[in-house]
């Protein structure tokens, strides 16, 4: 059974404009999916639908084999165990007033997860390569890369089957990026990633499958290796050419 199945899904934030048009795709276990597309093409909107933050305006979205009913608390609680997000900017996604231990433990309590909370927090903290004494500190004591590790630990504690990552390393400097990507790659063996990134190398490294979005429509989908080797759609050809030409971004926050 597919982890996600979208059948002719369209979505608009209001009645006048449609942002996603007739999107159909499947996410299969172990087949991490990269989403590529220009700014405004609808990538984040698609992730919002997968996370259950919004419902399709038309079409069908099945998660773990059944439709998502956003009004059902039980269904949405199950969905939050099934899929967890990691956001772009670890400088804004962690509550600065909470110590790291509480940040990571929060989903464990909120989702009523099995097992001892302290043991689970220790497990995921070790899994992301942070020392145990991190738990008593506030996010401000950590670098960008370490904060993103904290965000990944918070996602992993739910033992999700799908991890949704929206530009997870774009706020980090280059050397830190590599280490966070390595961490994601390690976990991509046990769970399935849906990854939005402008960085083709990252999509190629982590995602065997990819889709290309243009103005809310999927114009190309398939094996990442094949698409990168021989893009069929003129939009994909232009997009890949422009992304490959882009200069490296300026150094951001340090590790
Ligand atoms: N909350 C919102 N209300 C109304 N329109 C929105 C909202 N969020 C996004 N949009 C519009 O939906 C379209 C798709 O936006 P979306 O953020 O999904 O694109 P994106 O591909 O993720 O872009 P980026 O790469 O810049 O993050 C854009 O035209 C955007 O202006």
* CA-closest candidate to residue 150, choices 102, 112, 182: 102
When pLDDT is cut at 50, 70 and 90, the band that residue 201 belongs to is: confident
CB count within 10 Å of CB 13 equals 12
CA of 86 from ligand 1 middle (Å) equals 18
The reported pLDDT for the residue numbered 178 is 86
CA distance 179 to 245: 24
pLDDT at residue 244 is higher than 60? yes
CA of 43 from ligand 1 middle (Å) equals 8
Residue closest by Cα to atom 10 of ligand 1: 13
CA distance 63 to 241: 34
CA of 42 from ligand 1 middle (Å) equals 6
- Per-residue pLDDT tens over the stretch 118-160: 999 999 999 899 999 999 999 999 999 999 999 999 999 999 9
The reported pLDDT for the residue numbered 175 is 82
Residue closest by Cα to atom 9 of ligand 1: 45
Under DSSP, the state recorded for 208 is S
CA 47 to chain centre: 7
Query: Would the CB of 42 count as within 6 Å of ligand 1?
Result: yes
Indicate which atom in ligand 1 lies nearest the CA of residue 17: 5
pTM of the full predicted structure? 0.91
Whose tokens are 């190309």? That residue is: 220
Query: Would the CB of 45 count as within 6 Å of ligand 1?
Result: yes
CA distance 23 to 65: 17
Structure tokens given for 114: 């099995």
Structure tokens given for 193: 């990633």
Among 161-165, 169-173, 190-194, the range scoring the smallest mean pLDDT is 169-173
* CATH numbers and ranges of domains, the chain: 4-245 (3.40.50.300)
């Amino acid at each position: 059974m597919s982890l996600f199945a979208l059948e002719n899904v369209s979505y608009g934030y209001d009645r006048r404009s449609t942002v996603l048009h007739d999107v159909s795709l499947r996410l299969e276990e172990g087949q991490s999916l990269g989403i590529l597309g220009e700014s405004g093409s609808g990538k984040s909107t698609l992730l919002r639908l997968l996370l259950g933050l919004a419902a399709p305006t038309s079409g069908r979205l099945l998660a773990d084999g059944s439709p998502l009913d956003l009004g059902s608390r039980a269904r949405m609680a199950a969905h939050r165990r099934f899929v967890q997000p990691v956001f772009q900017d670890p400088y804004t996604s962690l509550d600065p007033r909470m110590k790291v231990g509480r940040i990571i433990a929060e989903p464990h309590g909120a989702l009523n997860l099995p097992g001892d909370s302290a043991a689970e927090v220790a497990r995921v903290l070790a899994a992301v390569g942070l020392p145990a004494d991190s738990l008593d500190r506030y996010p401000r004591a950590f670098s960008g890369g370490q904060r993103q590790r904290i965000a990944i630990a918070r996602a992993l504690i739910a033992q999700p089957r799908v991890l949704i990552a929206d530009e997870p390393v774009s706020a980090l400097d280059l050397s830190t990026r590599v280490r966070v990507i390595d961490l994601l790659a390690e976990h991509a063996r046990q769970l399935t990633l849906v990854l939005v990134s402008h960085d083709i190398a990252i999509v190629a490294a982590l995602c065997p499958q990819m889709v290309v979005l243009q103005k809310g429509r999927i114009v190309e989908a398939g094996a990442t290796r094949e698409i990168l080797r021989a893009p069929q759609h003129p939009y994909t050809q232009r997009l890949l050419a422009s992304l490959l030409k882009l200069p490296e971004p300026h150094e951001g926050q340090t590790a």
